[in-house]
Amino acid sequence: MTEAELRELVKAIVTDVVKAAEPAPPAAPAEAESPAWGRGPEHRPLTPARNEAVLAHLVTTTPARIVTGRTGTRYLTHSYLGLRADHAIALDAVESEVDEAWAQQQGWLPLRTKAKDHTEFLLHPEQGRRLDDASRVRCEKEADKGVDVQLIAGDGLSALALQVNGPALIKALHAAFTTKGFRVGKPVFVKFARIGVADEIGVLSGAKSTVIVVGERPGLGTGDSLSIYTAFGPRLGQDNSEKDCISNVREVGFPPERAAQKCAELMKQSFAAGGGGVKLTGGDPAFRPHVVNH
């Protein structure tokens, strides 16, 4: 199916839904009935017939809620219960935490930010952008120095996502960068991490670039999704416009292996351009880097 055909199908479905929701106009009195020529087929709304096979295919190829049906103006019961369940998954993802012992089992250097606990991390984002004193000292002493790429694993807003997909993604990133000739530092783990903490780690380690993997802010049913943020020439307070992002990294989205390959290619371009984000794209309006103040 071409993009044009898909757009027409979506347009037809939306038209059907809108028309079905509109109240029927009151019947005109017989004496005020419009002339016969005004009631012909040319004056009736044209709604293309649905292709049930195509709709069924679309439903099985996306986790998005499409063609769900309704009862009156309400969701069907199974749709409503699904929404409640997915909302619960999102809440659990935000409240999840990673134990530092788990990070050590992955072979990652455990660090943490200034956030004293999970509540402070959620309420005060700035506390998650800088390391606490003990972690700063440990990073200076134990992190690999002057590497091309420093890998960082952070819990972000879904520690669950890091536990589910983090090990495979970090391993794939290490392999992808190594294959392209980059010197890659030993991965570090940051508890209560926001994206900005990568700036400080990059400065302390003298890395030429940083790649931080964090749990995304979960949507409905997406509590296991990761994002990858890359930065060339890290410095404290580096603007987000200089960074790039690959999001929805999970098996039903952008699989870790493919995401890692894409990230390595993107970083190679950043090294060649001497910067990432807007500089990498040259301000080309046809491609804008996906950056989020996370």
Residue range 33-86, pLDDT digits in tens: 444 433 444 444 444 556 788 888 888 887 778 888 888 889 899 888 988 888
Cα-based distances in Å from 34 to 25, 39, 130, 140: 14, 7, 73, 84
CATH of 97-281, picked from 2.60.120.10, 3.40.50.11240, 3.40.50.10310, 3.30.470.10, is 3.40.50.11240
As a dihedral over the C-alpha atoms of residue 84, residue 167, residue 176, residue 191, rounded to 10 degrees, the angle is 80
What is the per-residue pLDDT for 53? 84
Q: Is 46 helix (H, G, I), strand (E, B) or coil?
A: coil
For the whole model, what pTM was predicted?
0.74
83 Cβ partners below 8 Å, 6+ apart? 75, 220
- The token duo for 85 is 């369940």
**Dihedral sign of CA atoms 243, 198, 267, 213 in order:** negative
Please check the confidence at residue 96 and state whether its pLDDT lies above 50. yes
| Residue 292 near residue 214, CB atoms below 8 Å | no
> Mean pLDDT across the chain, nearest whole number?
84
Please check the confidence at residue 209 and state whether its pLDDT lies above 90. yes
What percentage of the chain carries pLDDT values higher than 90? 55
Mean pLDDT of the region 216-243:
91
What is the per-residue pLDDT for 260? 97
Q: Could you report the per-residue pLDDT of 268-281, keeping only the tens digit for each? A: 999 999 999 887 76
| Segments making up each domain of the chain, as ranges | 3-94, 97-281
Query: 136 pLDDT band (50/70/90 cuts)?
Result: very high
Please check the confidence at residue 206 and state whether its pLDDT lies above 50. yes
Q: Distance (Å, rounded) from C-alpha 250 to C-alpha 275?
A: 27
